[in-house]
Structure 1
């Protein structure tokens, strides 16, 4: 088994323990599989480090529930920051165990913490994949019962995180009603 296969299998084994099986499989494992499939579709031939970061994007996320943090924006941002650091640490451990060097593990951490979004092409690729996975698999369930104005703000934030090329592609691939589509054209 290659280093890449070893690392991906270790991430999958960790994520197989997610107790949320509401979609018929452990949620983190399903998310990781979706991330890998979307990465392969959007960026075929991506380097190993990006492949591993995509698969490990939500590694063991259930161990740090959002409810463990205060309500509101500050609590949300702290949760996201802590998750990024945790995911970077766990994926780095797995990579080193699979035979990757410290520099490669550190690079995966940079990607997972989203350091350099809009400036670092690989960080941006990962963010584009995350946004496509959200739009393809999670947007409709997320949107159910939400306030339209609040939902529009979330769609606008999602579009702002994406590269111009990804926004254009999203407009072609997803049937987004106005005013959501307008967020991807700006």
Structure 2
């Protein structure tokens, strides 16, 4: 009989696998986008923590749960629209994950704690929320930064890097600086850090 933890991760990944959008991996294979994102999140958590607790592992795996169901385009343009969309996504992912956990045998308190991590309540004060944020920032810098930087105005991109950097722990900074980057991205990071 699978444990509550195994049941929950299986249920989360089954929902990720429903993402109709696909992404290519380094080895040429493709995966549903959110399943690839979730696996990358979990891989970074392994590098950040030698023994993360189950609830943090679940939260990290579920952070973008079914994100494609509510596209960014459903919200107004601009920062307020973006922040509202992101908040709503966190609430929905937290609620869905908490239900999956209860169904698998976790207590209401454990399920709600995981939802709180997913919603990023207490960033800067809660070490589990910080760990999730570190994973998200590292996944962005490693996998999406280069493409993103080609679509965004240079000065805006510098501000994005500065804001991303400001949300990361010292440990995550060290890991980020060791990432391989093309010349453009490396220059953006250098400029952002010199200007912060």
Partner residue, 2:187: 178
Q: Say what the alpha-carbon RMSD is for the aligned residues.
A: 1.6
What does residue range 158-177 of structure 1 map to in structure 2 within 5 Å? Answer: 158-175=164-181, 177=186
**Greater mean alpha carbon deviation, residues 4-13 or residues 140-149:** 140-149
Structure 1 stretch 14-23 or stretch 118-127: which is displaced more? Answer: 14-23
Work out whether 1:31 is the aligned partner of 2:18.
no
Counterpart CA distance in 1 for 2:151 and 2:83 is 24
Contact 2:23–2:36 under 8 Å retained in 1: no
In structure 1, distance between residues paired with 2:20 and 2:113 = 29
Aligned partner of 2:11 in structure 1 is 10
Matched, 1:51 2:39: no
Q: Distance in 2 between matches of 1:70 and 1:173?
A: 34
Matched residue count: 186
* Aligned counterpart, 1:105: 111
2:76 touches 2:82 (CA, 8 Å); kept in 1?
yes
For the 8 Å contact 2:8–2:101, the answer to whether it is kept is: yes
Q: Is the 8 A contact 1:168 1:184 kept in 2?
A: no
Q: How far apart are the structure 2 equivalents of 1:144 and 1:173?
A: 18
Matched, 1:119 2:120: no
Contact 1:35 1:130 (8 Å CA) reproduced: yes
Partners of 2:16 and 2:52 in 1: how far apart? Answer: 22
Question: For 1:130, which of 129, 136, 156 is the aligned residue?
Answer: 136
Runs (5+) with no aligned partner, structure 2? 25-29
Give the C-alpha shift of residue 74 in structure 1: 1.3
User: In 2, Cα distance between the equivalents of 1:177 and 1:36?
Assistant: 25
Runs (4 or more) in structure 1 with deviation over 2 Å come to 172-179, 181-186
- On the 8 A contact 1:167/1:184 being kept in 2, the answer is no
**Helix, strand or coil at the partner of 1:62:** helix
Report deviation, 1:25.
1.4
Report the CA distance between 1:168 and its aligned residue. Answer: 2.7
CA apart distance, 1:140: 1.1
Q: TM-score, normalised by structure 1?
A: 0.93
Deviation of the 1:107 alpha carbon = 0.7
